[in-house]
């Protein structure tokens, strides 16, 4: 997969049906060190994926339209791409900080 130079790939581990929604923590998944996102939404009809996409956008301070799912639609392990991010280096720093949060 070739990604545009102004985008960043974000591996994510989704925990659907969580009692408390939160973004933070690290999980060593199939796409490398993944950010953990817990969402209230159940894993039905893509609702958990959509909730995770929106939570990721909010945590990174970008518009939800800038976050797209690249892989893992039916899996807890997903790969999102954040595009149009002028400060990809800044986003990488924010991701590292979120992964360190537990």
Task: Let me know: does 69 contact 80? Beta carbons within 8 Å.
Answer: yes
Question: CB atoms < 10 A from the CB of 101, how many?
Answer: 13
Residue 73, Cβ density class (10 Å: 0-12 exposed, 13-18 middle, ≥19 buried) = exposed
More confident residue, 60 or 95: 60
* Residue 45: inside a domain: yes
Whole-number Cα distances in Å, 60 to 39, 43, 45, 83: 16, 23, 25, 12
CATH number reported for the structural domain that contains residue 64 in this entry: 3.30.1200.10
Domain count, the chain: 1
Radius of gyration of the chain measured on its C-alpha atoms: 12
Please state the pTM of the whole predicted model: 0.86
pLDDT at 88 over 80: no
* Residue 80: inside a domain: yes
* Residue 69: inside a domain: yes
pLDDT at 50 over 90: yes
* Residue 3: inside a domain: no
* Residue 1: inside a domain: no
pLDDT digits (tens, 9 = 90+) for 55-77: 999 999 899 999 999 999 999 99
């Amino acid at each position: 997969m070739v990604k545009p130079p102004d985008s960043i790939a974000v591996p994510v581990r989704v925990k659907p049906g969580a009692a408390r929604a939160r973004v933070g923590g690290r999980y060593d998944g199939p796409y490398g060190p993944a950010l953990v996102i817990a969402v209230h939404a159940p894993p039905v009809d893509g609702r958990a994926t959509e909730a995770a996409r929106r939570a990721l956008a909010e945590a990174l301070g970008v518009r939800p339209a800038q976050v797209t799912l690249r892989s893992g639609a039916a899996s807890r392990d997903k790969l999102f791409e954040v595009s149009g991010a002028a400060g990809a280096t800044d986003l990488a720093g924010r991701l590292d900080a979120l992964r360190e949060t537990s």
